[in-house]
Structure 1
Amino acid sequence: MVTAITQGIKVSVEATYQGKYSSPHQHHFVFTYQITIENNSAFTTQLLRRKWEISDAGMDTKIVEGDGVIGQQPILEPGQSHTYVSGCNLHSGLGKMKGSYILEKLQNGQLIEVIIPEFQLIADLFDN
């Protein structure tokens, strides 16, 4: 698990290779990742947007941006957390992801960029 803290917002990520859904001989590797966003600040926030940089070994880095996470724009009061699971497909069994969230402080409308720490995507070819 990797973790980053930005202005009291803690982002923790754990990635898992999904061998059951992958086809290495067809260059199809499936990974899931669980993210927990904890609001350890004194302000209420809402997650508005996400931006990912997805690197696949030997290939170009892909940028993915969009509103919210898995169709949601959660509001986090101080002390609250939000956990979700999403996934990524790679053509190789080795890659990495990192990114950021844009959150709004609801008290004053200020936008903050929160770092999603870089994490590795490594296929365990013995995992079936």
Structure 2
Amino acid sequence: MIGQIFPYAETTGSITVRVAPHYLPDQSDPERGYFVWAYHVRVENGGTASVRLMARRWLITDGDGRTEQVEGDGVVGVQPLIGPGGAYDYVSGCPLATASGRMEGRYVMMGEDGGRFPVTIPAFALELPGRKPVH
């Protein structure tokens, strides 16, 4: 069931990141080359200690191969603490100038001991409904 809700998933150590992208036709303007997607992310802590999501780094590639790198602290304005067995969900968005693209990236997490470690965000396609994914 969770694979149907979140078609993209990647596990790094005890942290699993799941992503479900959705095209937003009501916020897009294809005639002007403006396509918008929302993506729902769930970060699950399968470990025995709390972790804090400190930073993110995204690589966004449009259908013409143009890439943009986006980096920043936390996600959607927070640096959530995720307890053992817990999860943190958020929704964000991405506009593109093309009708397809892809995103991938990583988070920097901090353990209870203050040590930091990278966690992979799975690569996922940004596609109009009914179109083949970009690889």
TM (norm. structure 2) is 0.89
- What does residue 8 of structure 1 align with? 14
RMSD: 1.0
SS at match of 1:70: coil
Aligned to 2:133: none
Shift of 1:59: 4.0
The one-letter code matched in structure 1 to 2:79 is Q
Return 5+ residue gaps in structure 1 as ranges.
Answer: none
Query: Whole-Å Cα distance in 2 between the matches of residues 4 and 60 of structure 1?
Result: 24
- 1:48 paired residue number: 54
SS of 2:26's equivalent in the other structure is helix
C-alpha displacement of 1:50 = 0.2
**Within 1, Cα distance between the matches of 2:44 and 2:85?**
7
1:124 pairs, out of 126, 129, 135, with 129
Pairing of 1:32-111 with structure 2 (within 5 A): 32-106=38-112, 108-111=113-116
Gaps of 5+ in 2: 1-6, 131-135
Tell me which stretches of 4 or more aligned residues in structure 1 moved more than 4 Å: none
Higher relative contact order (Cα pairs below 8 Å, separated by 6+ residues)? 1
2:110 aligned partner, one-letter code = E
Q: Please report how far the alpha carbon of residue 109 of structure 1 lies from its aligned counterpart in structure 2 after TM superposition.
A: 1.1
Give the percent of matched residue pairs that are identical in Structure 1 and Structure 2. Answer: 36
TM-score, length of structure 1 as denominator length: 0.94
Do the aligned partners of 1:45 and 1:105 also contact (CA within 8 Å) in 2? yes
1:110 positional shift:
1.1
